[in-house]
Structure 1
Amino acid sequence: MLAAAREYHRERAHSEFIPGVTPILPSGAVLNEDDRVALVDAALDLRIAAGPNTQRFENAFARFFGLRKAHMTNSGSSANLLALTALTSPRLDNARLRPGGEVITAAAGFPTTVNPIVQNGLVPVFVDVELGTYNTTPDRVKAAITDRTQAIILAHTLGNPFAAAEIAEIAQERELFLIEDNCDAVGSTYQGRLTGTFGDFATVSFYPAHHITSGEGGCVLTRDLELARVVESLRDWGRDCWCEPGVDNTCRRRFDYQLGSLPHGYDHKYTFSHVGYNLKATDLQGALALSQLGRIREFGEARRRNWRRLREGLSGLPGLLLPEATTGSDPSWFGFLITVLPDAGFTRGELVQFLESRRIGTRLLFGGNITRQPAFREVRYRVAEELTNSDVITERTFWIGVYPGITDEMVDYAVESIVDFVT
Structure 2
Amino acid sequence: MPDPVKSHILEQTRKLHRERSDAIGEFIPGTTPILPSGAVLDEEDRAALVEQALDLRIASGAAALRFERLFAKALKVRKAHLTNSGSSANLLALASLTVPELGDRRLRRGDEVITVATSFPTTVNPILQHGLVPVFVDVDLGTYNTTVERIEKALTPKTRAIMMAHTMGNPFPVAEIAELAQEHGLFLIEDNCDAVWSEYRGKFTGTFGDFSTVSFYPAHHLTMGEGGCVLTNSLELARITESMRDWGRDCWCEPGEDNRCLKRFEYELGDLPYGYDHKYIFSHVGYNLKTTDLQAALGLSQLTKLGDFVAARRRNWQRLREGLDGIPALLLPEATPDSNPSWFGFVITLTEQAGFGRRELVDFLQSRAIGTRLLFAGNLTRQPAYRDEAYRVSGELTNSDIIAERTFWVGVFPGLTTEMIDYIISSIREFTESHR
TM bucket, shorter chain:
over 0.9
Equivalent residue number for residue 218 of structure 1:
228
- 1:45-68, Cα deviation, whole Å (9 max, x unpaired): 101000111100000011112211
Picking from 30, 51, 58, the partner of 1:48 is: 58
CA distance in 1 between partners of 2:347 and 2:373 (Å): 9
Q: After TM superposition, list the pairs within 5 Å mapping 1:17-416 onto structure 2.
A: 17-416=27-426
Deviation at 1:297, TM superposition (A): 1.0
Q: TM-score, normalised by structure 1?
A: 0.99
Deviation at 1:242, TM superposition (A): 1.1
The answer (yes or no) to whether the contact 2:245–2:287 under 8 Å persists in 1 is yes
Amino acid at match of 1:231: T
CA distance in 1 between partners of 2:324 and 2:78 (Å): 42
Deviation at 1:143, TM superposition (A): 1.0
Amino acid at match of 1:106: V
Picking from 17, 24, 47, the partner of 1:9 is: 17
Query: More displaced, 62-71 or 130-139?
Result: 62-71
Amino acid at match of 2:233: R
Amino acid at match of 1:333: W
Amino acid at match of 2:12: A
Deviation at 1:29, TM superposition (A): 0.2
Deviation at 1:14, TM superposition (A): 3.0
Amino acid at match of 1:125: V
Amino acid at match of 1:269: K
CA distance in 2 between partners of 1:15 and 1:204 (Å): 33
Structure 2: segments with no counterpart, 5+ residues:
1-8
The answer (yes or no) to whether the contact 2:75–2:197 under 8 Å persists in 1 is no
CA distance in 2 between partners of 1:7 and 1:338 (Å): 41
CA distance in 2 between partners of 1:29 and 1:59 (Å): 23
CA distance in 1 between partners of 2:358 and 2:384 (Å): 22
- 1:237-268, Cα deviation, whole Å (9 max, x unpaired): 11111111221111111111111100111111
Amino acid at match of 2:82: M
Deviation at 1:333, TM superposition (A): 0.4
Aligned sequence identity (%): 69
